[in-house]
């Protein structure tokens, strides 16, 4: 029985990974094989033509950089703000604490997509249309509730006695915050970062809405659509661009895999 289940699991794993395999494969196939009416699940003459087309001709390096800048800024700022809020919500007992927690929980459920229209006008009034800053701003806000919720579990796991002992030794509140709590919850921050990073990296809707005319400020998801053409899609380039977009997330994800699960467990159980 176990053997049958093992074999079934491996089969499922193969099916699940297949689209990713196909994406990378199509990205390195020579143009002739992509256009073929008999697609083979392998290639004997891999080429980097599609990548060259994407990076050199269409300046994809710039969009990659734009996406990276936005995502990293969001990760850092949202992580910092969430850390402070998580400390407030776990280390202190004050009136309305539960209310504030519920508000964050509800904020996490808000369909931010529905806010596209007012946010468009807000960003326009700030004069921030066509800037990467507009994307950093909204994604910092969108990732905040979940980050706070998730970090709370990690801060709660650090025993209270630790900061009390440090305070007795004469450490100021700031010192406790930065020298003691912050390093201890670094693993939690790493897990939280993944979610914030992916959220900002994946965003298509707001990039499409805010970056209207400045093509050099585009991020990856929008830039990718350039290769869809009414007459004939350049599948090789689309797959190469998709691969470029997937690889950073994949690496990030696999690196913090274990912490991700424990972090989710914390967020779910608390």
Partner 1 sequence: MKQRFTPLWLLLPAAVVLGGLFLYPMYQLGLISVLDFRQAQVSGGQPTRFVGLDNYVQLFTDPQFWSVLLATVGFAAACVVATLAVGAGLAVLLTRISRVPRLLLSLAAMAAWAVPAVSGSTVWLFLFDTDLGFVNQLLGTEGFNWMYDRYSAFALVGAVVVWSSFPFVMVTLYAGIEAISRSVLEAAALDGASTWRTFWQIMVPMLRPVLAVVVIQSIIWDFKIFTQIYVMTRGGGLAGQNLTLNVYAYQQAFASSEYGLGSAIGVVMMLILLAVTVLYLRTLRRSGEPL
Q: At 211, phi and psi to the nearest 5? A: -95, 90
Angle at 138 between CA 222 and CA 190, to 5 degrees: 90
C-alpha 172: how far from chain center: 35
Cβ distance to partner 1 smaller for residue 195 or 217: 195
Cβ distance to partner 1 smaller for residue 46 or 265: 265
CB of 105 to partner 1, least distance (A): 7
What interhelical angle do 132-156 and 257-269 show, nearest 10?
70
Cβ distance to partner 1 smaller for residue 59 or 249: 249
Angle at 157 between CA 153 and CA 160, to 5 degrees: 125
CB of 92 to partner 1, least distance (A): 4
Cβ distance to partner 1 smaller for residue 215 or 246: 246
CB of 186 to partner 1, least distance (A): 18
CB of 122 to partner 1, least distance (A): 6
Neighbours of 50 (CB within 10 A): 25
Cβ distance to partner 1 smaller for residue 16 or 57: 16
CB of 157 to partner 1, least distance (A): 15
What distance in Å separates the CA atoms of residue 110 and residue 83, rounded to the nearest whole number?
21
């Amino acid at each position: 029985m176990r053997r049958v289940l093992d074999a079934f699991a491996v089969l499922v794993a193969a099916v699940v990974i297949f689209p990713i395999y196909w994406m990378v494969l199509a990205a390195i196939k020579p143009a002739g094989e992509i256009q073929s009416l008999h697609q083979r699940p392998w290639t004997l003459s891999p080429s980097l033509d599609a990548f060259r087309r994407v990076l050199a001709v269409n300046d994809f390096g710039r969009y990659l950089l734009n996406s990276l800048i936005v995502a990293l800024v969001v990760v850092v700022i949202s992580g910092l703000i969430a850390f402070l809020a998580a400390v407030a919500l776990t280390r202190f007992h004050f009136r309305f604490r539960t209310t504030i927690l519920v508000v964050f929980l509800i904020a996490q459920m808000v369909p931010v997509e529905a806010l596209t229209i007012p946010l468009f006008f807000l960003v326009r009034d700030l004069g921030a249309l066509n800037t990467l800053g507009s994307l950093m701003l909204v994604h910092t806000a969108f990732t905040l509730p979940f980050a706070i919720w998730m970090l709370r579990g990690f801060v709660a796991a650090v025993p209270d006695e630790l900061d009390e002992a440090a305070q007795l030794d004469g450490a100021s509140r700031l010192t406790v915050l930065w020298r003691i709590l912050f390093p201890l919850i670094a693993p939690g921050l790493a897990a939280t970062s993944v979610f914030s990073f992916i959220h900002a990296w994946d965003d298509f809707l707001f990039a499409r809405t805010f970056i209207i005319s400045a093509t050099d400020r585009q991020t990856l998801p929008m830039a990718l659509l350039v290769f869809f053409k009414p007459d004939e899609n350049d599948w090789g380039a689309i797959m190469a661009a998709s691969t470029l977009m997937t690889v950073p997330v994949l690496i990030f994800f696999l690196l913090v895999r274990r912490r991700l699960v424990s972090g989710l467990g914390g967020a779910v159980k608390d």
